[in-house]
Amino acid sequence: MARYRPEHKEATRRRMIETASRRFKSDGIDGSGIATLVADAGLTNGAFYGHFASKDELIAAVLSQQLEVQVGVVNDLPPGLASVEEYLRRYLSPAHRDDLAGGCPSAALLDEIGRCDQSVREAYTDGASALIAAISRHLDADPGDNPSTNARAIGLFTLLVGSIQAARAVTDPELSERILAAGYANAMTLATAHRTDQESA
């Protein structure tokens, strides 16, 4: 039997993570069985266990990859308030609200992650911590261990996620739009708080 090259195995694992991320975010973790997950990736159940020891291991890999992508996006933002403003506007947009499968993993999966096993929650904790640190760097050129900057970054992170979740949950389209608009206004207040404090000092 021909043996696959290491790069083939890595590509298959990557494909499984990418297709699983979309399925988890659209159907939920509990609503996505292994049979469906491997079918999405064009694999068999046997092939799944050649890459992951369990569904929990796949969930942890998905969360790590998804949050790593988010960290990369935030890190790549040009310095300055304009890029932060654009990021907030994109995150709190109707397009993101309506795109569960392609959107933020926190907004789609946070309630289920809290009920997952320790390894999954640790993967999420590491990713969320890295994302908060990335946000901090855009709020303060030298955040260091500044508790104020860290608190604002945590506030922005949780405000963004909660706003998208609420905007998706309501059935009234006008209310959903108002939730997004209020989330953006409050996020901008947090993002510019340090600048305002400096100007008034």
DSSP per position, 101-167: TTS-HHHHHHHHHTTS-HHHHHHHHHHHHHHHHHHHHHH-SS-TT-HHHHHHHHHHHHHHHHHHHHH
Q: Which residue has tokens 């933002």?
A: 77
pLDDT value of residue 39: 92
**159 token code pair:** 């405000």
Confidence of residue 197 (pLDDT cuts 50, 70, 90): very low
**Tens of pLDDT along 103-123?**
999 999 999 999 999 999 999
Q: What is the mean pLDDT of residues 60-82?
A: 94
Rounded to the nearest 10°, the torsion over CA 142, 104, 62, 111 is 100
What is the pTM for the complete model shown? 0.88
Q: What is the mean pLDDT of residues 166-178?
A: 98
**55 token code pair:** 């569904």
Task: Tell me: pLDDT of 177 over 60.
Answer: yes
> Which CATH superfamily does the domain covering 56-200 fall into?
Tetracycline Repressor, domain 2 (1.10.357.10)
Confidence of residue 196 (pLDDT cuts 50, 70, 90): very low
pLDDT value of residue 148: 87
Which helix H or strand E contains 37, and what residues bound it? Answer: helix 34-40
Task: Tell me: pLDDT of 25 over 90.
Answer: yes
Q: Considering the chain, what percentage of its residues have pLDDT values greater than 70?
A: 90
